[in-house]
Structure 1
Amino acid sequence: MTTTAPTLDTTGTAANGTLSFEDVLEHVALRREEFATQKFVPRDMIDEFKQVGIYRAATPRQFGGDALPPSEFLRMIERISAVDASAGWVASFGSALVYLAALPLSTQAELYKDSPDLVFAGGLFPVQPAEQVPGGLKISGQWKFASGCKGADILGVGIRGGDSTAGKPRTALLWPKDVEIVENWDVVGLSGTGSHELKVDGVVVPEDWTFIRGGTPTVDEPLYRYPSIAYAAQVLAVVNLGVGRAALDYAIKVGAGRTGITGAPKLADRAYYRIDLAKAEATLRSARAFFYEVTDEAYATVVAGDPVPEKLAALLRLSSTHVAKAGASAVHTAFQLSGTGAIYDGNAMQRYMREALVPPQHAFLGDGIYDSAGAVLMEIPPFPGFI
């Protein structure tokens, strides 16, 4: 028997009369300055993401979730990010529930007992020691980069592994009441992500509430056979695809509509503007096509019951880094073409430039990925943890 994957409503009003995806995009546009100013996406906005399925997109179907094909979820994040990159970045962690599929089924049943719409946020580094005590692991420490932590239902922190994990680090799950959020997120771009630090002091976590990130899933559904580390890179990279699209659309709109401040011909009448804009359009669309092509190929492979070959997994990582940098390049081109108007704080290009700087700085999307992807293509070992 064949089954049809669930899909998100991205066009009209939701069937139950509540918010549609288009409604949510409008609300994000209205509130993006609020997110940047207060430095987090508030819980009521997170609740809207829940209503349109963002936080059940990676919940196993056996627990009432949608377990969407990756490309469908990625397109959602791309569209949110075109409106506001911080909101897109926070929403992207709806995919992080793929990691939780490595938990014992009994733990997952407890997590999802009230709703399949679960918001997970984690500060995984620096990895901290954990003391074995009666009842589990006693955890203390402070962890960085917990994006979306202020709206999370469950939080994760990175702890050292032991004999049972072959030395691989683990993530321990904690309820928000047991974690202090240290609000120190003060950055140039993606300021609305609320990527604060998490602090824990002597909380005991049962071992059944810990997992290895990218560990063997206990859920037998196609999404959890898709390469989880690659997926984690993809959901971050696609943010810049959205930002790049927004910047080029803005440049097209501005170029068609005004003359220069000196009275020179409008931008659309200048050959250099048309040429560079067309080149940026071609580059961004080409990177996007590569990105979604390998995503769909990999997912079709796991749906067919086969493991994703190492070279295809490497292409997932390569296309993610490439699309993050192509998005940033598109923004840079659009900014340069926009002239002196782009230097003013109120100009949209300022926001696009700040946001586009950040994703390529992430460890999952740096230049080292090119080296490891090339190593796999040449059939030599990449750095540990690449695949």
Structure 2
Amino acid sequence: MHLSDKTVKAVREQSRQMEQIGNVTPRILKIMYDYNLFKLFVPRELGGEMLPLPDALRVFEQASWIDGSFGWLTDIGSGGGYFVSSILPSVCQETFSDKKAVVAGSGAPSGTAKRVDGGYLVSGRWKYCSGSPYATVFTVNCQIEGDARDSNPEVRSFILPPDRVKVIEDWNAFGLKATASHSIAVDDVFVPDERTFNVFDDCVYWHDPLYRYPFLQFSQTSFAAVCIGICRHFLDEAKLILKQNKGVWETSSPNRYPYVQRKVEGAERTLQQATENFYRAVDESWDTLVRHSDLSEQVQEQVSYVCHATSRAALSCAQSVFPYLGISAIMEDAPVNRAYRDLHTACQHTMIVPFYEIEVKS
């Protein structure tokens, strides 16, 4: 799948407006529906694309290169397809068949579920639910109420209809502003047994290799691909600033232009090497999974490490260049500023933050 030049132009023309309203515009949402971007991991029988993970990651990268929020929403919106194999086929049919089906939600177990006849009563509040204004279904994680002495309560996932969910418009981040990553809340909503699942169960209903790819690494690779795309856009905008200011900078300060040029070129080399390492590790892990049906702990750890290293490299590239781009770069309506903010916001996700030192090599 490749997003056309026409799509690139359409999205970027509306990037500033999307930031201002804190959501994608109807025109851009239609583009996402037309490309089936929210159903990249949904089986074709349900109207999805069922892309192999390496192919989908390259879509995430391109979408994020076009615009950070556009790429993030593509990643998050399509990610709900990973749950298909754990959900009853009849429920999947209801949930995913519509062309405009979009899953939003949260993986944090910040809700509670009380067992009752035929299902559960779910209550709670969950943060950072990207795409919440147009979601057709929400998935949330809850701790199951039980013995108060149990230090390790069961956690299950629940499928909620949007008409029972309150969206609390509290997304006020300095980047990825158009993702509408608001909080949601419910209070004693009944969820029948058939609309609950455990994402860590083995594949049950659908058997594409994707559903055997470990969920942690599935998420980490998705976020890392977004970071690559946003950083590529940032460096493209930095090169444009170089080109536009070449004459002025060479006249006013002879050392300025070549110095900044070296900074940008060094960042490009760093990102290129990190990107190659990332896709090599992902492609090899996917090939291993297809051949052997699972991934060893060692391979999983290698994939996690390369995702951490990739996000750190992308962040380091932007930080090494931004201070030298001049005063215009600090203006929020400048594309380079938006990409810088979006990248920092994406790299803040806990799943791709390494809580250990990683040396970024230029």
Of the three residues 83, 86, 104, the one matched with 1:102 is 86
Cα deviation per residue 1:295-320 (whole Å; 9 max; x = unaligned)? 11111122224311211111221122
Distance, in Å, in 2 between the alignment partners of 1:213 and 1:235 is 17
Contact preservation (8 Å) 2:112, 2:145: no
Of the three residues 7, 10, 21, the one matched with 1:38 is 21
Distance, in Å, in 2 between the alignment partners of 1:62 and 1:298 is 26
Given residue 253 of structure 1, which amino acid in structure 2 is its aligned partner? L
Distance, in Å, in 2 between the alignment partners of 1:347 and 1:123 is 31
In the TM superposition, residue 340 of structure 1 has moved relative to its aligned partner by 2.9
Partner of 1:384: none
Cα deviation per residue 1:187-214 (whole Å; 9 max; x = unaligned)? 1111111010111122111122112233
TM-score (norm: length of structure 1): 0.83
Q: 1:370 to 1:57 in 2, by over 3 A?
A: farther
Kindly report which structure 2 residues correspond to 1:263-274, keeping only aligned pairs within 5 A, or say none.
Answer: 263-264=251-252, 269-270=257-258, 272-274=259-261
Partner of 1:132: 115
In the TM superposition, residue 217 of structure 1 has moved relative to its aligned partner by 2.1
Partner of 1:216: 202
Q: 1:268 to 1:117 in 2, by over 3 A?
A: farther
Distance, in Å, in 1 between the alignment partners of 2:254 and 2:301 is 44
Distance, in Å, in 2 between the alignment partners of 1:262 and 1:294 is 42
Distance, in Å, in 2 between the alignment partners of 1:319 and 1:136 is 41
Kindly report which structure 2 residues correspond to 1:270-309, keeping only aligned pairs within 5 A, or say none.
Answer: 270=258, 272-309=259-296
Stretch deviating more after TM superposition (204-213 or 279-288): 204-213
Cα deviation per residue 1:80-108 (whole Å; 9 max; x = unaligned)? 21221111111102123112321123322
Q: 1:179 to 1:44 in 2, by over 3 A?
A: farther
Distance, in Å, in 2 between the alignment partners of 1:117 and 1:304 is 34
Given residue 197 of structure 1, which amino acid in structure 2 is its aligned partner? S
Distance, in Å, in 1 between the alignment partners of 2:352 and 2:24 is 23
Contact preservation (8 Å) 1:103, 1:210: yes
Distance, in Å, in 1 between the alignment partners of 2:51 and 2:165 is 30
Partner of 1:356: 343
Secondary structure of 1:256's match? helix
Partner of 1:196: 182
Contact preservation (8 Å) 1:39, 1:191: yes
Given residue 192 of structure 2, which amino acid in structure 1 is its aligned partner? P
Of the three residues 211, 230, 234, the one matched with 1:247 is 234
**Superposition RMSD on alpha carbons, in Å?**
2.4
Moved over 6 A (4+): none
Given residue 110 of structure 1, which amino acid in structure 2 is its aligned partner? E
Contact preservation (8 Å) 2:224, 2:310: yes
Given residue 130 of structure 1, which amino acid in structure 2 is its aligned partner? A
In the TM superposition, residue 149 of structure 1 has moved relative to its aligned partner by 1.0
Partner of 1:155: 138
Q: 1:345 to 1:261 in 2, by over 3 A?
A: farther
Distance, in Å, in 1 between the alignment partners of 2:27 and 2:202 is 34
In the TM superposition, residue 370 of structure 1 has moved relative to its aligned partner by 6.6
Q: 1:215 to 1:24 in 2, by over 3 A?
A: farther
Contact preservation (8 Å) 2:249, 2:257: no
Partner of 2:149: none
In the TM superposition, residue 162 of structure 1 has moved relative to its aligned partner by 7.1
In the TM superposition, residue 26 of structure 1 has moved relative to its aligned partner by 2.3
Q: 1:294 to 1:191 in 2, by over 3 A?
A: same
Kindly report which structure 2 residues correspond to 1:169-184, keeping only aligned pairs within 5 A, or say none.
Answer: 169-184=155-170
Q: How many pairs are equivalent?
A: 350
Matched, 1:142 2:135: no
Stretch deviating more after TM superposition (227-236 or 140-149): 227-236
Of the three residues 228, 236, 244, the one matched with 1:257 is 244
Q: 1:144 to 1:289 in 2, by over 3 A?
A: same
Q: 1:118 to 1:217 in 2, by over 3 A?
A: farther
Given residue 302 of structure 1, which amino acid in structure 2 is its aligned partner? L
Partner of 1:26: 9
Secondary structure of 1:34's match? helix
Cα deviation per residue 1:115-160 (whole Å; 9 max; x = unaligned)? 3663111033352211111231111221111011112111112211
Distance, in Å, in 2 between the alignment partners of 1:245 and 1:217 is 36
Cα deviation per residue 1:316-342 (whole Å; 9 max; x = unaligned)? 211222222222222222312313332
Of the three residues 87, 95, 104, the one matched with 1:111 is 95
Given residue 125 of structure 2, which amino acid in structure 1 is its aligned partner? Q
Partner of 2:213: 226
Q: 1:43 to 1:274 in 2, by over 3 A?
A: closer
Of the three residues 304, 311, 320, the one matched with 1:324 is 311
Of the three residues 105, 110, 118, the one matched with 1:122 is 105
Secondary structure of 1:220's match? coil
